[in-house]
Each structure stands twice: as structure tokens, then as C-alpha cells.
Amino acid sequence: MNFSKTLENVKAYEAGKPIELVVRDFGIDESKIVKLASNENPYGVSPKVKDVLRGYVDKAYMYPDDSFYELKELLAKKYNLTSKNVVIGAGSDQVIEFCIHVKAKDKKVLVANTTFAMYEIYAKVFGAEVIKTKDDMHNLEQFLEMYHEHKPDIIFLCLPNNPLGECLDKKDVFEFISKIDSDTLVVVDGAYQEYASFKDSAKKIDPKELIDTFPNAIYLGTFSKAFALGGMRVGYGLADENIIKTLHKVRPPFNITTLSLKSAITALGDEEFVNYSIEQNFIEMKRYEEFAKANGFNFIDSYTNFITLLFENTKFDSTVIADELLKRGVIIRNLKSYGLNAIRVTIGSKVQNDRFFEEFETLIK
Amino acid sequence: MNFSKTLENVKAYEAGKPIELVVRDFGIDESKIVKLASNENPYGVSPKVKDVLRGYVDKAYMYPDDSFYELKELLAKKYNLTSKNVVIGAGSDQVIEFCIHVKAKDKKVLVANTTFAMYEIYAKVFGAEVIKTKDDMHNLEQFLEMYHEHKPDIIFLCLPNNPLGECLDKKDVFEFISKIDSDTLVVVDGAYQEYASFKDSAKKIDPKELIDTFPNAIYLGTFSKAFALGGMRVGYGLADENIIKTLHKVRPPFNITTLSLKSAITALGDEEFVNYSIEQNFIEMKRYEEFAKANGFNFIDSYTNFITLLFENTKFDSTVIADELLKRGVIIRNLKSYGLNAIRVTIGSKVQNDRFFEEFETLIK
């Protein structure tokens, strides 16, 4: 059977190895496995959300309110916007897909050389050409140059950037967008913004200020990271009403589950848990920085809940390290497929990080 | 900002009114509302699934196993196929979207005049032209005629058909597909097949027989109806490995939630509940048939968990009836937007159906 030619060169996304797979492949006891590969919140689901969900599983047979009325109202209130500025996605991932679908089908997108893989995957799925900057990290001069040269329909800025962890300053981002024409959609992916703005207020992007200043910008947020609901698949886009109205045309009905909706609504009411998670994250991150220094390799200063350890100019090979750690039940992300001799490690809980350091040390000695 | 021209004529799907909205709009107490609008299973989540989910909410912070290994294995076993014949969607809805994306982008699809709205909506979203038969119900002679005239890339057969409830016989379906060329994808949407095959074995489509006989056919199944997980958004497609491999190219990672995956796996192990739901459904459906006869209007013989009541040649207007029922807290689906003076009512539990009959009677007296 023949299929759309657009898809011939599309490869599927490679997700972080789930614990089930490691149990299966290596016969390691599930309780012994430490997964630091998918940037999940190591402090687990907030106690409030757990309580509410347990009482709500009875509703799983019913479709959710497809208007997502309550969640949109709460997000609008949180960001001082109206619900007409909000679209809900199955993770902010799905909002990325919506953006490419409505704006860049068979056209062009511009991204950093090393950034969130889904920009490129969705772009290819929709037949768009992917233009990349030369530098791995976000370099706005290069972005501007490529913008003038290629006239992309969408520019993706990942702030902070996954999988490297670096983050541009807000003032530089605003200056950059001011130079972009109003028919180019600028996507500001803030999946890890809660972490970045905690660490350094110069990184903080206020969605209202962003979209009030630039009607061609959209801000993406997620419940998967600081809000600890990675498994529930809830994200959102915040933008001018005209953009949101168009994104809704490609949104499938009931695109988040009944329990996802309830969990996101509840999580928004538990800022205490979110703040605790973020504070702990940076306390534990310090230990990774010290560990790297002690063992003679570099790292990228991170504004997220993960850290990228660089093995260039060392005796270490990221593929060997990733494979050996996996055999010992520690799952991290090898960045070799990005052309880097580096690994990305989610900052886990104290116990999880202890385990990482311990296994890593036995490996390199 | 300019968007893809394809989207100019796209309208969003209108979902059944959720209970929250009726509470809000009419100030009716939530406990007094009966929702018979979205063909949810009125017997609620199976007790086994509830138990397992309650114990599993702690995992909501973790992404699911994106390979859906266990669920695919169980489905493969259930249908005597291999996991390479299985793709998982966020509802079978999403598999419809995948099919259109890979096969009919900017091309043509053929559907019955009155059938599941999402075929047309996804087709339009992907720029495909929608060809419809003349008759509301599935008429295979007309399908064949239109096929020869228009050479569609996908043909959708909804067996049984939503929102009308009728169902073609398996032998007629197989005879029809045998006349279709091997480069046309035939989608057999079996969302309500569990109900149809219980009522009449002549309607039963065995997925393995279907896809072994026709490598250009795909069978769609769902956990939303007989398996009582409408809110969890899990469905699947079963087809030849080559089709499945291509559909995976457009599948977003983590397209069902961690709790959805667990609930579907658990639901597959509770056939007893499914059988009970289906038996009760047809016992209660008899009451609707008698009610229609007693009140002088027709209905369509239904092979699903809903019934379509026809008000043609009566004094009743479906819009008035739907609105008046809504004010009384009974939510059903008006089919006026399909050009029919008819309503579609989900077969509820005994108590829910009692309420429908009671409110309907006060309305028409």
C-alpha cells in the first residue's frame, strides 16, 4: 500500500527506557531500578492530587468536559489572561503538533541544533523542512541570521532548553522576537520555566507580557515536570485569541483524560508541593556539579530538573557509560544520537542520586 | 497571522454536553442529572479496574512504557494476532486520525451520509475531500458506486454505525471489500462490535479473519464503550504489519496516559463485567423499543448501546424535545445537525432509563 510521501524519511521518537523494559531485558528487580531518564519529578505525585484521584477513579467511564472549562479558567487566572487565550494539549507536546499543523505544514521551521526532539519529528511528519542553527545551544545571533536567510514559518525557542539545560535571558528573547515579522509564529516552550525562573529571575518569561507584546508568540507550559504529572499528559498553550481559535480547529475532542483533567486542576492548587520540588531539585543538583568536578568532567549550567554531563576531552564514552549504568539498573539518557559525548541525568531524589553516584563511581574506577 | 488554507472551512467537533455544563447553565443539582448523550457504559468502571487504579495513582508522575508492550501483547493474544499488528491510540478516534494522516492527506475519503462525525472532521483537518453516500444508513451498493466514481483513498465502514445504530452483516462487508483495490484503505470501525456480535452473530467481524483476508483493511476497537473507560481514551487499530508500521510514524509518543494504560490492561482481564454490561444493555433497550411503540414513533433497530428515536411524521420536534429534556436534567443527543428529526439516547441503567421515560412523558402530554 502507498502512503503519504512526506512520511518516507520520518523516524519515530525514542522515549527514555521505561522501568518495565529494564526489568524485562535485564531481569533486575523493579525496586532496584532508578530511572533518571525522562525528567519526571522524583518527589512523585503531590499528596493532594493522589487523594483526589483515588476518590475520582469511579469517573473513568465518563468523557471529560471537552471544553476544559474549569482548567482553562484556573490557568487564565494564574497567568492573568482569559480562557480564550488557552488551549489544552495532551502534554505541551500536542500543542507543538497543533502549531506545526496549522502554520508550518509543508513549510519551514527553525530550531536550535540540539533541542527538544519533537519539534523536528512533528515538523517532518507534517512535511516541513527543519532549519537548524550551527551551535548546539540557543544562539540568537545565529537564529536571526537563519531567520533572514530562510524565512521560517515557525521559530522554536526552548527556554530552558531540553536536553542541554541552558536558558536565554528574557530581555534577549524579547529583543530577538521584536525583530521577527508578525506572520512568523514564535513558540516559547516553557516546559521547565518553573525551574529556570526559580534559579534566576532574569530567565523568567511572563506569558501575559510575552503575548501582549508579541501577538505572534505562543507560550507553552506543562504539568509533566514541576507539577509531577508526566504520566497524565496535560500541557497548554497561551497566545492571542486568534492563534488559539485556529489551534482548536486541529485539537481532537477529549484530548486529555477525565483523570488527567482532575489531576491538573488539583495540582494547580498545590503550589507548596511544586515549590518544595523545585527547591530540592537545586539542592540535589549541586551534588552533581560537585561530582562532575571531582571526577574531571564538565557539565552545562542547568536551569531545569536535569543536568547534562559532558565527556569531551575525557576517557569516558557516553554510550559505554549509559549501557553499563543500565545493566546496573540506573537509567539515564545517552546524548550520542545528538552527536554529543554526553549524558543527560534527571536530578532525582537524594536516595536516587546517591545510587547514581555510587554506580557511576564503581564504573569509572 | 495566516494559517494553512486547508483549515478555513473546518469546524470543531461538538461533544455531548457534560454534566458540569448543565449544572452551571441550568443550576440543576448534579445528582439529579442523567447523561444519556455520549454512549458511556452506565454500569461505570469495573470494580477490578477501580481497585487497581486506586492503588496506581502514585505512578501518575511517571511516563508510561511508550512501547505499550503489555497492552499490545494482551490485545494480540485476545485476537490471535501478534503485537506487530497493533497500534494504540488515545481512543480509536486517534487511530482514525493516524489513518487519514498517512493515507488521505489532501486526497479523498468515502463515508456513509450519516455516520461518526470524526471521519469528516479529521478528513477536513488534513485537507481531504469527503464523499458521502446518499442514504443515511450504510448502503453498500451506493458505497461501491461512489468508490468506482471517486476512487477514494480511504473508505470508512462504521459497524455498527454511530449515531444511527444499524449494522451490516459480515458476509456483505467481506464481499464488498473483495471488490476494492488493494491500495485503498478500508477502515472497519468496530467501536460497538461487542454489542453487535452479542445481539446477532451475523454481524460479528473477527479482526484476524478481516486483516488476513484483506491486507488493505484495518479494524478499530475501543475501551470507551463495553469496557467502560470512555474517560481514559484508549483505543487500537489492528492491521497488516506494513500499515501498523506506517501509522506508528505519526503516533505521538506517550499518546495514552500511565493510568489509561493500566486501566486498559486491567479491563481486558474482566470479561465478566463486560458481558454483564452488554446483557443489561439489551434488556434495557427493549424498554425503549416498547416506549417508542407506545408513543407512536419509530426507532432504528440498534446493535449498540444507544437507540435512535425517529420523530418523522409525528408532532414532535427533536430540537424542542432535546432542549426541554435538558432543562429537566436529562441530556440526550439531538440529531437535527445531521438533518434528522431524531434523537440518539444512550441506553442507561434501569434508574436512568426510568427517569428518561418519566421526563419524556411529562413533556409530550
Tell me which CATH code domain B5-45+272-364 carries.
3.90.1150.10
CA gap B297, B294 in Å, rounded: 8
The per-residue pLDDT for range B281-309, each reduced to its tens digit, is 999 999 999 999 999 999 999 999 999 99
Q: What pLDDT was estimated at residue B14? A: 63
pLDDT tens digits, A273-305? 999 999 999 999 999 999 999 999 999 999 999
A24 falls in which pLDDT band (50, 70, 90)? confident
Q: DSSP H helical segments within chain B, as ranges?
A: 19-26, 47-56, 69-78, 92-103, 117-125, 140-150, 170-178, 193-199, 207-213, 241-250, 258-268, 271-294, 318-327, 350-364
- Range(s) of chain B covered by CATH 3.40.640.10: 47-270
To the nearest 10°, report the CA torsion of A145, A147, A150, A156. Answer: 130
Quick one: how far is CA A200 from the chain centroid?
Answer: 19
Q: What value does the mean pLDDT take over residues B74-94?
A: 98
Domain(s) labelled CATH 3.90.1150.10 in chain A stretch across 5-45+272-364
Nearest to B87 by CA among B270, B237, B280, B307: B237
Longest CA span, chain A: 58
Q: Are B249 and A7 in contact (CB < 8 Å)?
A: yes
Alpha helices (H) along chain A: 19-26, 47-56, 69-78, 92-103, 117-125, 140-150, 170-178, 193-199, 207-213, 241-250, 258-268, 271-294, 318-327, 350-364
Determine the pLDDT at residue B309.
97
Does position A18 have pLDDT exceeding 80, yes or no? no
Q: How far apart are CA B93 and CA B236, in angstroms?
A: 9
Between A334 and A14, where is the model more confident?
A: A334
Q: What is the distance, to the nearest Å, from the Cα of residue A181 to the centroid of all Cα atoms in its chain?
A: 26
DSSP label at residue B194: H
- What are the grid coordinates assigned to B47, written together? 470494580
Nine cell digits for residue A49: 492530587
**Environment class of residue A90 by beta-carbon count within 10 Å: exposed (0-12), middle (13-18) or buried (19+)?**
buried
The residues in A 145-204 lying below 8 A from B, measured between CB atoms, are: 182-183, 185
CB-based burial, B13-38: b 16+ in 10 Å, e otherwise:
eebbbbbebbbeeeebeeeebbbbbb
Query: Which of B20, B183, B185 is the closest to A69 by Cβ?
Result: B20
Find the helix or strand (DSSP H, E) in which A37 lies: none
Beta bridge partners of A109: A130, A154
pLDDT at residue B22 in the model: 75
- A158, amino acid identity: C
Cross-chain residue pair A12–B69, CB shorter than 8 Å: no
Mind listing the pLDDT tens digit for each residue in A326-353? 999 999 999 999 999 999 999 999 999 9
- Backbone phi and psi for residue B235, each to the nearest 5 degrees, phi listed first: -140, 180
Beta-carbon neighbour count of residue B112 at 10 Å?
A: 25
Residue B18 has pLDDT above 80, yes or no: no
Q: Given its phi and psi angles, is residue A70 left (phi above 0), alpha (psi -120 to 50 degrees) or beta?
A: alpha
Closest CB to B45: pick one of A61, A93, A251.
A61
Residue A31 pLDDT class (50, 70, 90 cuts):
confident
Closest CA to B161 of B131, B121, B198, B117: B117
Q: Do B63 and A16 touch (CB under 8 A)?
A: yes
CA distance B324 to B307: 19
Question: Cβ of B20 and A63 within 8 Å?
Answer: no
How much is the pLDDT for B30?
84
Torsion of CA A29, A33, A38, A41, to 10 degrees: 110
> Is a pLDDT exceeding 90 seen at residue B24?
no
Question: Half-sphere exposure (CA, 13 Å, Cβ side) for A31?
Answer: 0
- The pLDDT of residue A17 is 65
Which residues of chain B make contact with A228, given a CB cutoff of 8 A? 60-61
Confidence of residue B28 (pLDDT cuts 50, 70, 90): confident
Q: Is A296 on the interface with B (CB under 8 A)?
A: no
Per-window interface: B 204-243 vs A, CB < 8 A: 215-216, 228-233, 242-243
Neighbouring residues of B111: CB distance < 8 A, sequence distance ≥ 6: B119, B120, B130, B131, B132, B133, B155, B156
Average pLDDT over residues B138-157: 98
Of B3, B21, B229, the CB nearest to A60: B229
Pairing of strands B330-331, B333-334: unpaired
What rounded mean pLDDT belongs to chain A?
95
**CB distance from B72 to chain A under 8 Å?**
no
Answer whether B15 touches A (CB < 8 Å): yes
The single-letter DSSP state of residue B60 is G
Confidence (pLDDT) at A16: 61
Segment A38-44 mean pLDDT: 96
Q: How big is the CA angle at B48 (ends B195 and B263), to the nearest 5 degrees?
A: 75
What pLDDT does A21 receive?
74
Please report, to the nearest 10 degrees, the dihedral formed by the alpha carbons of residues A354, A358, A359, A362 taken in order: 170
Average pLDDT, rounded, for chain B: 95
Give the pLDDT score at A243. Answer: 97
**Range B160-178 average pLDDT:** 98
For residue B104, the distance in angstroms to the closest alpha carbon of chain A comes to 8
Instruction: Express as a percent the part of chain A with pLDDT over 90.
Output: 90
Judge whether residue B266 has pLDDT over 70: yes
CATH architecture assignment, domain B47-270: 3-Layer(aba) Sandwich (3.40)
pLDDT of residue B125: 95
Q: Got the DSSP string for B128-155?
A: -EEEE-SSSS--HHHHHHHHHHH--SEE
pLDDT in tens, A112-160: 999 999 999 999 999 999 999 999 999 999 999 999 999 999 999 999 9
Sheet containing B342-346, strands listed edge to edge, beginning at the edge strand earlier in sequence: B298-299, B306-310, B342-346, B333-334
Whole-angstrom Cα distance, residue A34 to residue A348?
Answer: 9
Q: In the prediction, which pLDDT does A174 show?
A: 98
User: Exposure of B295 by Cβ count < 10 A (0-12 exposed, 13-18 middle, 19+ buried)?
Assistant: middle
Which distant-in-sequence residues (6+ apart) come within 8 Å of B115 by Cβ?
A: B138, B156, B158, B161, B162, B163, B164
Chain A residues touching B1 at Cβ < 8 A: 103, 182-183, 185, 215-216, 242-243
CB contact under 8 A, B65 and A20: yes
Contacts of B232 (CB under 8 A, 6+ apart): A60, A257, A258, A259, B223, B224, B256, B257, B259, B260, B263, B264
Cα–Cα separations (whole angstroms), residue A186 to A1, A140, A156, B71: 37, 13, 6, 38
Measure the CA–CA gap between A321 and A340, rounded to whole angstroms: 13
Which is more confidently placed, A56 or B363? A56
Whether A230 contacts A38, CB under 8 Å: yes
**What pLDDT shows up at residue B13?**
66
Task: Taking residues B347-362, report their average pLDDT.
Answer: 96
Provide the total of helices (H) and of strands (E) in chain A, helices listed first: 14, 13
In this structure, what DSSP letter does residue A153 have?
S
Spatial separation of the C-alpha atoms in residues B263 and A130, rounded to whole Å: 38
Chain A residues with beta carbon closer than 8 angstroms to that of B12:
248-249, 251, 253
Q: Would you state the pLDDT for residue A115? A: 97
Query: Phi/psi at B341 (nearest 5 deg)?
Result: -85, 80
pLDDT in tens, A240-268: 999 999 999 999 999 999 999 999 999 99
State residue B17's pLDDT score. Answer: 65
CB B185, CB B240: distance < 8 Å: no
Banded model confidence at residue B31, pLDDT cuts 50, 70, 90: confident
pLDDT of residue A13: 66
Can you tell me the mean pLDDT for A41-69? 96
Look-up of cell digits 521551521: A109
